[in-house]
Amino acid sequence: MNPWDVSINFKDVILDFSFLSFFLLLGTALRRYVPFFQKYLVPNNIIGGFLALILGPQVFGYIFKDFSFARYSYIPFNSDRLGVYVYHILALTYIAMGLRKQKTSWGKGPLSTAFTGLSCFLGQGILGLLIAFILIYTVYPDLFPGIGMLVTMGFGMGPGLAYSIGRNWEQFGFEGGGQVGLTFAAIGYLFAFFGGIWLIQWGIKHKKTKLISSMDDITTDIRLGVYKTGEKPSAGSLPLATEAIESMSFQAAMIGFVYLLTYVTVLLVTKGMSHLGLDAFVPTIWSFHFIFAIIITLIVRKVLDMQERSYVIDTGLMNRLAGVSIDYLVVSSIAAISFTIISKYWLPIVIMSIVAAIVTALIPYWAVYRAFDDYPFERFIGIYGEKTGTVNSGLVLIRVTDPEFKTNAAEDLIYGGAITILLGFPLLIMMNFPMTLFNNTMRGYFITLGLFLLYWLLLIIVWRAVGFLSFKKVLD
């Protein structure tokens, strides 16, 4: 069913929001007082998400299901309902990020970062498909082959996209595809921070880091997650008079307006497709609603720039709204995980997750030392964090190795991510080829695997041709 057509009781929406808010606060408290979370810099939204998962129907609800007080023993979350939130928040996040002031000059840093990120996507997808093929032809003949590509969604593109694409594939026989996508994303977050901190410690030991010499260089404020000392960062500016309208309200209204345009556009496109007899492609279009959101956002921003009216948008406030979206996106996506689905796919999930984490470390490490002469390790750790979690994960790890943001690693990661989205469009389209063009046959998946390899080869050729990639030996 199209997520836009799902009927949800408004009381459930309010209660879900209230419970999710409570878990974000609880995650903040635990990050503030528990040394374990401080050591690995685990974000509050991830802590809150796993608490919500444990205290929800999947754990507490299962443990106490046979007791008379069962209905009162757990938080009444519903996985499908939370999945709908994830679907919509994904687009809202991209809109908020797209309405911000755009970078006017794109150079080697963002482009090479984007090429490296896309290489991670392709490596995850290629190995994921190969693992799926091996399992299908050995011990798991009924496995849905597309699960090998879904690991790319969960690790490299985040829970919102992983859920949206996985849920769309359910119509082709992928039982619980949306939940599998959320599971990959949650595991990716764990690798991002636990694996990321381990990689930083390894980098310090082998003198790869240039700006820190030990983990003791991390400030207390960063570890606690609370600014207790010094000057607090500014959230943004007020571009409108509060007597007329609250500036934050205006920023939120702009996001809502663009999302309305997105809905109308996708609705018109799908109705046109239905008239042309292309109903089979309609669910896929709805699952790609975020792409329409990105395109429309860029158009709206361009119009405002051309009309010299973009002063009404404040980058800082839009960053804050994007951050709010990401926090609720993460806590919702983890809380929505279904252990019933995990138990069905545990073997491929475990194997693919471990392989994806390894390849996501090896590819950027190989690439950054050949593409950059300045601060390669700081760039590597940021890309690893982003391609196992989100851009926020990458920024957190960069800040550990570059506490004052003296390098361009953080800026290049942000703008390189935007380029990666554009370069990743063909990849997203190719992922759907087996279902849309080959009737979900194995032949379609093998052809898609070949296209992935061809696209990766083309990417490296272009990367080398523009002079941003060399094949020099990695420096020790």
Looking at the chain, how many residues does it have? 476
**What distance in Å separates the CA atoms of residue 421 and residue 433, rounded to the nearest whole number?**
19
Give burial (CB, 10 Å; 0-12/13-18/19+) of 372.
buried
The contacts of residue 269 (CB under 8 Å, 6+ apart) are 285, 292
This prediction's pTM:
0.84
Cα-Cα end-to-end distance for the chain: 53
Question: Which pair of tokens denotes residue 336?
Answer: 């929505």
- Decide: 228 and 425 in contact? Cβ < 8 Å: no
Question: Which pair of tokens denotes residue 234?
Answer: 């500014």
pLDDT at 472: 58
**What distance in Å separates the CA atoms of residue 24 and residue 52, rounded to the nearest whole number?**
9
**What distance in Å separates the CA atoms of residue 427 and residue 260, rounded to the nearest whole number?**
27
pLDDT at 419: 80
- Decide: 98 and 301 in contact? Cβ < 8 Å: yes
pLDDT at 476: 43
Of 88, 221, 56, 160, nearest in space to 389 by CA: 160
- Decide: 80 and 5 in contact? Cβ < 8 Å: no
Please tell me what DSSP assigns to residue 31: H
Per-position DSSP letters for 277-332, written without gaps between them: T-GGGHHHHHHTHHHHHHHHHHHHHHHHHHTT-GGGS-HHHHHHHHHHHHHHHHHH
**What distance in Å separates the CA atoms of residue 19 and residue 474, rounded to the nearest whole number?**
49
Of 165, 166, 185, nearest in space to 174 by CA: 166
CA distances (Å), origin 289, targets 5, 267, 293, 309, 387: 14, 10, 6, 27, 22
pLDDT along the chain (476 residues), means of 10: 81 95 96 91 90 89 70 80 89 86 65 90 95 96 94 86 88 91 92 92 89 77 80 85 93 96 94 85 80 88 91 90 89 89 92 95 92 88 90 83 80 79 83 89 95 94 80 51
CA 307 to chain centre: 33
- Decide: 313 and 251 in contact? Cβ < 8 Å: yes
Return phi, psi of residue 438, to 5°. Answer: -125, 20
Residue 435, number of CB atoms within 10 A of its CB: 24
**What distance in Å separates the CA atoms of residue 199 and residue 353, rounded to the nearest whole number?**
17
- Decide: 20 and 81 in contact? Cβ < 8 Å: no
